[in-house]
Amino acid sequence: MKNTFLLLLTIGLLAACGRSEKTQEAQTPSKADSVATATPKPKDCKTVVDADKLGKSDVYQESGKSIKVTLTLAQDTSSTETSGGCYFNNTITVLATKKSGSQLFKRTLLKDDLLYFIKSDEVVERSVLKTVTYKPTFNGQRYINLVMRVVDPISQKTADYTLFMNYFGEIVKVK
């Protein structure tokens, strides 16, 4: 008798909760429509990278290491505001694969990833990622060295940061 009562009570509560969720779902599309129309349109921003370099993959492989590194530069949806206008930020996708073809890791890096490892962030915050290149190590260490070059769009001053990544795609150190 107690089990039947508890079963009926549970079914009744579940039915009541389901109805309130359905009424909330019915009310939210009107709110979502008003929010979707209120979002600003993307600005006309400039880029610091040639259009033919975006989306192009560069493949690097050392003879001493059993991995191949593919770097692909792409345009990000975010932008950096400067006194001279706005500039699109860029991202780099790092794909490391073994000689057998199996994937070690795939990671997308932003210039903001540098902020966790460097002391002064003023240069990085006002800059845009321009290029990333593979730096060979010529030893058997299990690290991948990448050089990220950021450029200040107004003054055209560049800053280079060397990233040390392990074979799991984690940034270990930045110089």
Per residue in 71-83, pLDDT tens? 999 999 888 888 8
> Within 39-72, where are the H helices?
none
CA quadruple 14, 20, 26, 31: dihedral sign: negative
Same domain assignment for residues 22 and 80? no
Contact 106, 94 (CB under 8 A): yes
Q: Is residue 67 part of a domain?
A: yes
Same domain assignment for residues 87 and 23? no
CA-to-CA distance for 133 and 171, rounded, in angstroms? 15
Predicted local confidence at residue 42, as pLDDT: 52
Q: Is residue 85 part of a domain?
A: yes
Tracing tokens 């909760």 back to the chain, one arrives at 17
Contact 112, 124 (CB under 8 A): yes
User: How many independent structural domains does the chain possess?
Assistant: 2
Which residues constitute the domain of residue 22? 1-39
Tracing tokens 């915050």 back to the chain, one arrives at 125
Predicted local confidence at residue 71, as pLDDT: 95
* pTM for the model: 0.70
Which of the residues in the chain have pLDDT under 70? 1-2, 5-6, 9, 12-14, 16-43
Q: Is residue 51 part of a domain?
A: no
